[in-house]
Structure 1
């Protein structure tokens, strides 16, 4: 069970703490990736295809989420490049991004509640959509830098045209 030393809410009261600092982000990222590596659909992408060094990856992901949630500028890498490289080795599909989003969202909802936790869910939705659009697209040939809009939800995805 996670330590709530830096959180303002009391777990015994049934209230979940919001995400307040780097330690909260690190605990969240560790819990999330514990699920990811065990997941039969997306776990193999991390363990077998990307061969992720968890000690390094978890720190990088903590930087990524800290940068998006608490302290802009902490993360200084190119997430899109990494996902395009992964997609070139083993094709990603919408269901992979949906599973990632589901695991992230459920991990947050089990551990946190509040404005920063809500922001983490919204940001993950945007990130999943952007990575899907810029790796998988809609399966048709397209110029490298032209994204294809696809709506992602936990129940499915559909192509979205500019008029919809």
Structure 2
């Protein structure tokens, strides 16, 4: 209790993050995520030493990808697999790289956003990580599918 018999409000409430709603939200998420990626001792060198990345271009492309996946289908029109296979040829990718990528993405989304679109961002990242791992390293799938794993861009429930 506080003075005059009033209840103590306790610690200030921590604001609940909003959901991902705009391209600007996605851009902020992508920039925060890649800030963590380049600082990571396991996967950072893949982005800073193994290949020469045009960072402004890469961030724009990744923002396009996630915008297509989560908000506006059709913005992203590239072949991500080609780039990951080229990286794998220079610096072999391992499952732990994909696991770390997924862990950093999930943590970054969770720190910045909450809601159904943020949940879709995490779910989609699992699909992307599995597809890229399978199609670059030939890792076994847990289902009975054969051949390349497809990642569908921009199919999500209409609001």
Residue aligning to 2:59: 58
Aligned to 1:92: 93
Show the counterpart of 2:144: 162
* Structure 1 position 75 matched with structure 2 position 56: no
TM, length-normalised to structure 1: 0.78
- The Cα RMSD (Å) is 1.5
Aligned length: 133
Displacement over 2 Å in runs of 4+: 160-163
Query: Counterpart of 2:9?
Result: none
| Counterparts of 1:74 and 1:161, CA distance in 2 | 30
* 1:118-143 superposed Cα distances (whole Å, 9 cap, x missing partner): 000000000000000011123xxxxx
State TM-score, norm by structure 2.
Answer: 0.80
More relative contact order, 1 or 2 (CA 8 Å, 6+ apart):
2
Query: Which residue of the partner structure matches residue 143 of structure 1?
Result: none
Any idea what SS the aligned residue of 2:49 has? Answer: helix
Summarize the Cα distance change of 1:115–1:161 in structure 2 as closer, same or farther, 3 Å threshold.
Answer: closer
- Distance of 2:51 and 2:70 partners within structure 1: 26
Gaps of 5+ in 2: 1-12, 146-159
Q: Which has the higher strand share?
A: 1
Superposition pairs for residues 1-164 of structure 1, below 5 Å?
Answer: 14-138=15-139, 148-149=140-141, 160=142, 162=144
Query: Take 2:52 and 2:15, find their aligned partners in 1: how far apart are those partners?
Result: 38
Measure the CA separation in 1 of the matches of 2:81 and 2:133.
10
Shift of 1:51: 1.6
Aligned equivalents of 1:109 and 1:95: distance in 2? 21
Q: 1:13 deviation in Å? A: 5.3
Larger radius of gyration: 2
CA 1:17–1:161: 2 relative to 1, 3 Å:
closer
Could you tell me which residue of structure 1 aligns to residue 155 of structure 2? none
